[in-house]
Structures are given as structure tokens and as C-alpha cells.
Structure 1
Amino acid sequence: MPPAPRRSPPRAARRPTPRPWPGQSARLLIDLVAGGLLETAAELLRLRGISSDRLLATGVREERRTNRAITILERHLEWLLQEHPLATESHEPTRTGTVVIASGNPAAQIAHWHRAMVRFTHQDEAHAVQRLAPCPRCGGPWLAEARDLRLVNGLSYIECQNTDCGALLTQPEYDEHVRSLIGGVPTQAPARRPVTLDAGVRQAVEEVLRGVLTDDRTPPGHPDGAPGGTAA
């Protein structure tokens, strides 16, 4: 008599992967920050011997409850950052094998919320600011704010990203260039006037230039084959 055929064990039914609903990522971020604010404020009140009944009262809208938590943290901020039992704990998370335990330092928690919100709103992306006026030297549409060069007051140069040109303009020079274009008068890239520097500033400038000149990075090519790369 032939052996009975073996039956494979029944497979567990696969559940369809739930699709994210509109606004889910924003809701998760709000839950992280608002929930963290409420938990930190309640813990602060407990440690300082203050009743948290009003903060944790039921039937209160999320907006009002979050505002109460923020008010409490603002009033006790100095104690929270200096006198809290975990205020001296490292901001770095503790790693035990594959388990990562976040820091209990209130300052580290606040920094974590801030980083999450900055990333979510894309405020951490430093895009090059494109300028619409053509370059006064080569006429190409490659003017953008310089990412590396900065003036003494912190303002950035406006540079032509055409590697064969490389014209540099300050903001007032660029504004004058735009006015000349509007008035129909062509302009040339302004000539650089010599600047007298004291010994300390001259040494600092020489060190910066030495570091730039020894950098071997090659500027990216333009996607259309034009000289130089235009930042997005």
C-alpha cells in the first residue's frame, strides 16, 4: 500500500500591510513632542512636590494640555537643566548590545525633539540660493550664494559657478548689477580694490586660503553639460 501523501502545514494568512493615512507622519511627530512635554512636566512637578492634578486632568483638549506643560517647563527651566537628578547624565544614548537606551537628561530630550522637528520641516537642508540675474562677466545663468566663502559680517558672497569664470560679487555689487540691467546699462564685474590687513588677520586669511588651495575636491559637473555645477 503506497504511503499517504504528506500535507504541508497550513500557511498563516498574510495580513495586508496597512497604508499610511494622510497626515500620519505629522501626527506621529506631534505625539512624540506633545507626549514628551507632558511626561517631562508631570515628572518635574512630582520631583518638586507640586500637584500635577490640573496638568493631568481628563477632558482637556490636547492644545490646552500641551500649553500648560510648556508653561510649567518654562517656569522651572533653570531647575530642569541644572538641578534635575539626571541633569548631569550624558546626552549620548547608552548601548547595551543591540538595545539603545535614550538619555534621561532633560536637555538631551529637548534637543531630540528639536532635531526631529527640524528634520521633519526640512529646515536642516542648506540649499544654495540661486540668483536670477546673469553673471556680469561671462553672461551665464550660474550665479548663486557661495557655500564656503563668507564676508566678515557673516554674509555670503555671490559667485558664478562657471569654473571658467568664478566671478565674486558682494550683495551690494549684485544689487547694483541688477539695477544696471533694469536700466539697460551693461556692467562689468567690479575690480577688486586692495585691502590693508593687519598681521593677525593676514595670517588667518593665509591659513584659510592655504586650506582651500590644497583641497583636491573636484566641482560637480552640470547635468546639461554646461561648465561648472549649478546647485539645486
Structure 2
Amino acid sequence: MTALECPVLHFQDVELVYKGPPSVTALHPFNLAVRRGEYVTVIGPSGSGKSSFLNVVGLLDRPTSGTYRLDGIDAGRLSERDRTALRGRRIGFVFQAFNLLAHRSALENVMLSLLYTGVARKTRRTQAIDMLYQVGLGHRINSLTSQMSGGERQRVAIARALVNRPSLLLCDEPTGNLDSVSAAAVLELVDGLHAEGFTIVVVTHDPDVAARGERSLVIKDGHLTEAAKTDDRQRVGRHPASFSTGSE
């Protein structure tokens, strides 16, 4: 299997149990493959296991059992230092709360994500400017993020997440703090990024956001299932998320 054929995310019998007493199974065993260029959404109510799923995908928590490969790399075999490096190179995070430095410009916020990559400052600046233009903020490059709208700040966050061209864009409730107009604009941007070939996973509680993905997974009480496509949902229903292991 070539690098391009290898799934970006590949989970085999992955389970997450928080030790007690009493112990709590946050994620029941599941198999999942997300291929390069796919747009997958994960929906569930509060307490369903979305945060646990997000933390495992983002290499913040280690699964209790099973195998998780990111770009073919077995993350379970890595030291914490190597996991941190892998996360920084391969995953771009977008958060509900933006997590930007309020008294820095859009350009500075995006450049900061390249600070420890070994890229020269001049190149960092060029790459950051290019990415801000790509998300529609070429006119706001030098604006402080504290003087931006919520939608603009989320675009800066997306630019920051993508500036080092990660394998995966991982979004946690990316429209949760936005009004309906700004949310629609951000979702259109994500659609456009998917059309350009980015691999995207969006975790949300909003059915309208979940419906944007090519595939939608449902998480409830730690159980992950895949929802049928919209036009087939009544006929097919849902089935366990053990669909593709990427080994065929």
C-alpha cells in the first residue's frame, strides 16, 4: 500500500477506559478508517463520548487497547515526545473557543504555529500570508484578533491549523460560538477546503453541521456507529462503525 492509499486515520479494536474505581468505558471497541480527502463528521449529545473520541484522534489520550495508526504510523509505539511531534506535524486543530492570542495580529497568530518547525522566519511569513488569503482574510492580515468578528477569528484559527499542511484538519464544534451567518460562512469554507483535497473530521452536536460531511458517525454512550447517507437513511438505517479497516 502506497502512502497515498494508506488511510489517514486507521483504528483497529480501539477502546478507551478511564480507570476508577469505578472504571468507566468512555469508548467501546471500534474499527474505523478515514481515507485521504474524506470529510467525516461525528455527532452526539453531551456526555456521549465525543470529547474522548476527539482526544484519541488528536493523540491527547492513549487508547486502553487496540491500534491507532496516523498516516500509517502506529501511535501506540511512540514515546510521548514523538507523539507530540507527530501531532504537530500531521494534525491541525480548530477549536470552538478559537484559542487565539487576542493582542497579536492574524498574521502573528498563524506564524506562531510554524515557530518550532525549523522554517525560516521569512518563509513562515510568506506561508502564513498565503494561508490567510486562502481563507478569505487577505484584507485582515495585520488586524488584531481581538478586533475581529467571531467568524473572522475562526478563519484565522483554520489558517493556523492548515499553514503547515497537516494530513488531518480536526475540528471541535467549529461553529459553536458563531451566529448563524458566520457559522454558514465557516462551513462553506470547510466545504471548499474539502473540495481542495483536505482530510477533515468535524466533531459536533449540531445535525446541520453533521449533514455537511461525506460520512457521518454517531456516538452515543461511547458506542460509535456510522449513519447511512441522507437519501438512504430510512431504508438502510445505521450499522456498527466497523466498515473499512483499510486492509483490503
- Work out whether the TM-score is over 0.5: no
TM score, norm. by length of structure 2: 0.18
Higher RCO (C-alpha under 8 Å, 6+ residues apart):
2
TM score, norm. by length of structure 1: 0.19
CA radius of gyration, larger in: 1
